[in-house]
Structure 1
Amino acid sequence: MGYSYRDAGVDIQAGNDAVESIKPAVARTLRPEVLGGLGGFGGLFKLNLEKYPDPVLVSGTDGVGTKLRLAFQMNRHDTIGQDAVAMCVNDILVQGAEPLFFLDYLAVGKVLPARVAEVVGGVARACEMAGCALIGGETAEMPGFYAENEYDIAGFSVGVVNRDQLIDGSTIQAGDVLIGLPSNGLHSNGYSLARKLFESYSLEEVLPELGEPLGETLLRPTRIYVKTILSLLSEKKIKGMVHITGGGLTENIPRILPSGLGVKIDPTSWQRPAIFDLLQRIGDVAWPEMYRTFNMGIGFVIIVSSNDEETIRQRLAEMGELSYVIGYVAPGVGVTY
């Protein structure tokens, strides 16, 4: 008997089993616009032209990065899918787009159906949080490229916004206010530095500053801001938005500002999660480096006129969302603290 694909490390039946195991989770994410089911060569989605008569499609893609190493170490794989979804849908949300659908790409050293179900189950739950459909994906078994117990995951999302409702920051002016929505920790950025600083610590260790095992704090998934922000867009008062990802507040906020404008931020204006002060102390990391590496407790920023600040914050409070006025727009360049 000659060699088979399975002898080379690729188990087609295990892949089929994995697909079957995730179908119920995927089905819960479907929207009325989805045509067909899981398993086709392409996902089908019929755009609602009554809701979006002048549609602009907005797309985004991202991965999770070295946060995955923590999932491997803790053998916990049910939250990492939320990070993959959040990094994509929060990005396209910045331009006012409603996320419509999501596709995931999961590359593994060995297909373990239960683990695939755990990872993709997290993706599906996050899609439900964002209101978008999980309409397809790919699980690639790559023996000899990834270790048997390791994998990588990335995602791709498409959203839509009417052309006249695109948010591009072009109307931002000096005196406008920055409203920050809190993160719940590191989200999915800065983990190469965080892992280096904590390399001598046990993930099971309960640190007094955190009040929980270190691994729990570090693995906490990225917040998804979609439903909160979509509810605010009807106010038609938002001038610009920023998802605080790699580069932190320092690098991300200038991306939305018109030429000649910068922002002044008051770092004492919000409650910083303890993990950031702990990282700074352990590594003696300079504060400017902290603010350009981590989100520092602010995961999403909304820019509005000072006249509209109270209205927007009241709406956020009604939705149970904590918010902070973290700074304002001023003539200049970049971010100053």
Structure 2
Amino acid sequence: MKKTAIILMLALTFVSLLSGCTRLPASVETGVKPSEYTGKLSAEEMKKENESLKTELDSKKLELEKLEKDYLNLAKNNEAIISRLQEAESLLDIVVSDDLPDFKSEGTDKNSIISYLNDSISSLDDSYRKIEIIQSTDSKILFLTTGYGEKFSQVFTWTIGEDKPSIIEGASFERSGKWQWLLQDRFIVIDSGSGDKKIIDAENSRVAGEFKAKGEIYLLPDTSTVLIQNPESNVFSLYDFGLSSDQELKLDSKNKYTSFRVDDKDIIFEGTYKDQGIEYNVSATINIEEMKEAYSIKSIDETGANENMDTIESEDSLDGQSDNSEGKTV
């Protein structure tokens, strides 16, 4: 009986020990202790984690793209600000400078350049200095500054698409000088005020000829030849600024004529002189076409002064200037 009780107690003790042990399922037995499974992710959890990381990465990429875009915009804005500051400095220079201004426009299209020049003109309202737009075409703008530099007045040409204009070399004159159209939208005559005159080829932005003359000059129709009077001898001559040639007119009493006028197709020369206390009037009439033939005056196409002679449509020329392709006295 005592032996049976001991066997029963041993059996109960063994069963109790078995019930207190944990056994891993055969499917996950890996040789790793249970405590080492802490922090390990299942395949599903790893997939979710990867998706989360990808979403975060995409978000960072968007942030970087936005930062790059913001940087480029900032750089562009800085360039625009610098350009506007340079334009403002140039406008200030126009007001205070004694030398020729350093013109510079942020915009290089026609309207922007004209707007810039008009702003410059407005800034000089109370100044003896002036800026005057002479001609505006689709390809360039001619303008004149007055009151700057050694020559006082200077003609500039501003090509559309450029941020700065260029000086037309030689196209300058003193305070007493003036300019006007010799042939509308084509040739400008500059009078220095002291007898020196210059022809400006507006289309090609250059000085086409220089000569001395007194009084009025007349451009023969369809030519680059002007009728002029020598300021020293009073003799009239025909100066071709396309060929830089000068022919003296063969007139009776040639040094007694003091003026001329154009009457339709004729040129009438007039003058007075005294002989032994008696005053005489002299007059001579020459047909313009006969004059051109007699002196072998070439057409503007033949002289080369008509290079690139396409019709220019001036949109902003000075008011009151009318086209006169049949010759003009100035």
Structure 1 and Structure 2 fold alike (TM over 0.5): no
The structure with higher relative contact order (CA 8 Å, sep 6+) is 1
TM-score between both structures, scaled by the size of structure 2: 0.22
TM-score between both structures, scaled by the size of structure 1: 0.22
Bigger Cα Rg: 2
Q: Which has the higher strand share?
A: 2
